[in-house]
C-alpha cells in the first residue's frame, strides 16, 4: 500500500491551482471537468502520481466556500530553508500565518502558510529534532 493523494475541497479552482503551482511551486498534473456530476478535479504535486503522493483539489460547481471544521489539521511540506521559503512565498503573494522559528516546546524549525480556502500548510526543515 501507499498514500496516493489528499483531497481538499476548494471554492475557486483557478485561484487554488495558482496558489499551489505559483506560490508553492507544485506542478498541475491533470485537471478534468465532470459536467454530469457538476464538479472539477485537479491534481497537483512535486512529482508524478506514479511515484509521489499528491493533492487532489475538488471544486463542486456553485460552491464557493466550505466550513473547515475542527478535525482537519494541516499538510506538511519539507523545505530546505524554512526562512527562505517564507520569504519566497510572501514575495509570490502567499500568506504566512506563523512566522518561521523553533517549534514551541521543541527545536524543529517550522512555519505555516494558508491557502486561498484557509487550509494550513506547515513548512518543516529537513533537520528536525522533534
56 flagged as catalytic: no
Of the candidates 67, 99, 114, 122, the residue annotated as catalytic is 122
Name every residue whose Cβ is closer than 8 Å to that of residue 98 and which is 6 or more positions away in sequence: 110, 111, 112
Give the 3-state secondary structure of residue 45: strand
Under DSSP, the state recorded for 19 is: I
**CB-count exposure of residue 113 (10 Å: 0-12, 13-18, 19+):** buried
Cell readout for 31 is 485537471
Query: Long-range pairs for 45-50 at CB < 8 Å and ≥24 separation?
Result: 45/5, 49/4, 49/5
Residues with catalytic annotation? 122
Amino acid at each position: 500500500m501507499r498514500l496516493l493523494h489528499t483531497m481538499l475541497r476548494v471554492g475557486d479552482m483557478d485561484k487554488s491551482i495558482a496558489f499551489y503551482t505559483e506560490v508553492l511551486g507544485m506542478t498541475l498534473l491533470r485537471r478534468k471537468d465532470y459536467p454530469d456530476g457538476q464538479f472539477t478535479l485537479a491534481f497537483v504535486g512535486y512529482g508524478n502520481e506514479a511515484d509521489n503522493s499528491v493533492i487532489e483539489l475538488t471544486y463542486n460547481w456553485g460552491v464557493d466556500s466550505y466550513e473547515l471544521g475542527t478535525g482537519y489539521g494541516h499538510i506538511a511540506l519539507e523545505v530546505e530553508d524554512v526562512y527562505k521559503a517564507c520569504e519566497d512565498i510572501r514575495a509570490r503573494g502567499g500568506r504566512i500565518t506563523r512566522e518561521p522559528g523553533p517549534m514551541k516546546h521543541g527545536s524543529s524549525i517550522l512555519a505555516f502558510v494558508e491557502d486561498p480556502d484557509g487550509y494550513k500548510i506547515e513548512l518543516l526543515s529537513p533537520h528536525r529534532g522533534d
